[in-house]
Amino acid sequence: MILGIDEAGRGPVLGPLVLAGVILRPPRAAALTRRGVTDSKDFGAGSEAREKRAELAAHIRRLAEDVRVKVFDHQTVDDFASRGLLNELERRGAREIIGAALPVRRIVADGQKLFGIMRGEYPHLEAHDFGETVHASVAAASIIAKDLRDRLFEEIAVRYREEFGEVRGGGYVNAATADFLRRYHQRYGALPPETRRSWGWKLLNELDPPPLPLFDGLSP
């Protein structure tokens, strides 16, 4: 059996980061590949893409030996990212997934720089860029993570839908997210509570500049 590990939601400015692990036996991995399981990003955005990922995620859960997820909320992501420790946060999540999952003969994780350092802890771990092309379990983990993040972001969108209309853009750095943030800030004079500040996106600093350091009376 092979455990694949991948994440979704590393780059957005709104909402959580989700890490997933999927364990597959070889025949099931081949069946999922035939079914169209590939990197979640290959499906694009929009409602049709979300529906397709949801359909495949349900199929993955039926065929997988084990599925594990770890969700990091926006505060946790900000805390680690602001200290330059986002990679360590993801490695922490991977350790939790590996520790909770069924024993496997091989682990394949997406991101050579991110997860390669963990080979000292797990000799049977491989870390690859574009890991979804190495084994179907990584592609499956990508879809599980993205499907869950889609659903978690939908919970955020529902909270604002009545007041601001459809919240598009998935919380990523794009025009739709910028439009929502501007309208929210115009109404409330602040950013939504689900906002990540650690990315330093120019728009966030324009709308809500970080506080200046206090004058200590000692500077020249």
Residue 45 is predicted with a pLDDT of 77
Of 111, 130, 154, the last residue of a domain is 154
Q: Is the residue at 211 inside a domain?
A: no
Q: Is the residue at 217 inside a domain?
A: no
As a whole number of angstroms, the distance between CA 121 and CA 103 comes to 15
Closest alpha carbon to 35 in 68, 66, 63, 6: 63
- If asked whether residues 33 and 76 sit together in one domain, one would say yes
Q: What is the pTM of this model?
A: 0.90
CATH number of the domain to which 75 belongs: 3.30.420.10
As a whole number of angstroms, the distance between CA 19 and CA 29 comes to 19
Tens of pLDDT, residues 33-84? 888 888 777 777 778 888 989 999 999 999 999 999 999 999 999 999 989 9
Tens of pLDDT, residues 139-167? 999 999 999 999 999 999 999 999 999 99
- If asked whether residues 78 and 174 sit together in one domain, one would say no
Domain range enclosing 17: 2-154
Q: Is the residue at 189 inside a domain?
A: yes
| Contact indicator for 24, 64 with CB cutoff of 8 Å | yes
**Domain count along the chain:** 2
- If asked whether residues 49 and 125 sit together in one domain, one would say yes
